[in-house]
């Protein structure tokens, strides 16, 4: 074989060795990158699991807030009913004051017409005053 051909063959073999080494190096890099991507994929899966848990917690919180809203609605209804009862009590108290005033006027009228039982009139007035101040 001529010398040139031998040199060319050696050069080709050297080039082939370099190419093989480069391919192996690229292969190793690809394997490392694949490992990194696998790790990243695991991290993303982990994060996805955490977000799912957080979503579940927010759903529970939303349910609790709905429950609280229902309770506040019930309380609001109770306060409305209490307000109606207080209004009725106020009206009743006004009626009682009106009646007491009529009784007091009647006692004064009796005294003016000559009912001479002054002690009884005095006692009645005291009872009326006591009733009025005590709210009965």
Q: What is the pLDDT of residues 79-104, one digit of tens each?
A: 999 999 999 999 998 888 888 888 87
**Which tokens is 46 given?**
């982990």
What pLDDT, in 10s, does the model give residues 19-67? 999 999 999 999 999 999 999 999 999 999 999 999 999 999 999 999 9
């Amino acid at each position: 074989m001529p010398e040139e051909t031998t040199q060319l063959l050696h050069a080709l073999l050297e080039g082939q060795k370099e190419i093989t080494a480069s391919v192996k190096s690229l292969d190793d890099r690809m394997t490392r990158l694949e490992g990194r991507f696998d790790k990243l994929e695991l991290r993303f899966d982990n994060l996805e699991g955490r977000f799912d848990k957080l979503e579940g917690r927010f759903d529970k919180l939303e349910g609790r807030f709905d429950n609280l809203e229902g309770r506040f609605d019930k309380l609001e209804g109770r306060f409305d009913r209490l307000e109606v009862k207080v209004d009725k009590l106020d009206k009743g108290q006004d009626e009682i004051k009106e009646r007491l005033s009529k009784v007091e006027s009647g006692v004064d009228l009796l005294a003016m017409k000559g009912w001479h039982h002054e002690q009884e009139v005095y006692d009645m007035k005291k009872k009326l005053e006591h009733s009025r101040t005590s709210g009965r």
